[in-house]
Amino acid sequence: MSELHEFSPGQLADQAGALKARLEAIKQEMIAREVDRAEGNLYRLALSPPSRQSRLDRDRLERVYGTSFLAAYCHEIDTGWVMRITARKS
């Protein structure tokens, strides 16, 4: 049985938040050292610098060109579970 099984949902959230904070500290240390890749005995770590990404305004495209036109260029993909961790505001 998992040691986490005994935790309440709130305790699980707090555990995830603590891990997120620790990962952020590790990321900041890597950035401060100007290291973008590291090889450990068990894991590999790689950092990607900030970049720009383009996004399409789907609603606007549908209004201008119509849903049937846009449907020919769209497809669905399957995704896995996503867990987002955000700090609660005081």
pLDDT (tens digit per residue) in 9-40: 999 999 999 999 999 999 999 999 999 999 99
Can you give the pLDDT at residue 2? 84
Confidence of residue 1 (pLDDT cuts 50, 70, 90): low
Distance CA 67, CA 37 (A): 44
Quick one: tokens of 43?
């894991």
Comparing CA positions, the residue from 57, 58, 59, 31 lying closest to residue 45 is 31
Average pLDDT value over all residues in the chain: 92
